[in-house]
Amino acid sequence: MPKAGYHHGNLRQALVDAALKLIEERGPMGFTLSEAARAAGVTPAAVYRHFQGREDLIAEAARQGYEIFADLLEHAFAKGQPSALHAFEATGRAYLAFARKFPGHYVAMFESGVAVNRDPDLAMVAGRAHGVMEKAARELSTHIPPEKRPPPAMFAAHIWALSHGVVELFARGAPGTRSPFPPEDLLETGIGVYLRGLGLIEPDN
């Protein structure tokens, strides 16, 4: 029977919440739909009223994660203004903060194998998150003549990859214990070296 307080209007979210806990504990392939249903306090048949299968359920968890992620990036970008450099660096730090605070969502988004293009809503919100990074990159390069600017989408993607690498190697599980430096320091110095190499910031900044 459904848990107290669950009804038709919020059962879908209860299933997503249960899946997020299972993803965090076991990984995206470490549970069945029946287990997600049991954790939500409903019968397995109830899951199929809302989701076609486990991948559909994980995709919804990923979509909600991208919503949170995009909001965090936008907040970080705005907080870093009016400095284009601070705004750009803040979006990188927001990546680390998101991975730590929302591990279930993070895994659903980046480690589940669910393609962002499988669903229009998922693709749209993922695009919003990418868009914040590209906007930060674009503003950082406005002082360079257009013909000499590196493509903002390119170096935004590079910083995204750098952030992801720091998260995977040093910021998950026990942050900082596998590196002599805090993950935030690794990311900040890495971004600085990369941007100076592109000529986007002065050597003494």
Residue 141 Cα distances to 118, 204, 205, angstroms: 33, 17, 15
pLDDT tens digits along 52-106? 888 999 999 999 999 999 999 999 999 988 888 888 889 988 999 999 999 999 9
81 lies in the same domain as 135: yes
Nearest Cα neighbor of 29 from 19, 44, 39 is 19
99 lies in the same domain as 32: no
| Total number of domains in the chain | 2
62 lies in the same domain as 32: no
CATH of the domain at 175: 1.10.357.10
pTM of the model: 0.86
Question: By residue range, what is the domain housing residue 6?
Answer: 1-51
- Distance, in Å, from the CA atom of 180 to the CA atom of 36, rounded to the nearest integer, reads 39
100 lies in the same domain as 33: no
CATH of the domain at 44: 1.10.10
pLDDT tens digits along 121-159? 999 999 999 999 999 989 888 888 888 888 989 988 998
Q: Tokens 């705005």 belong to which residue?
A: 78
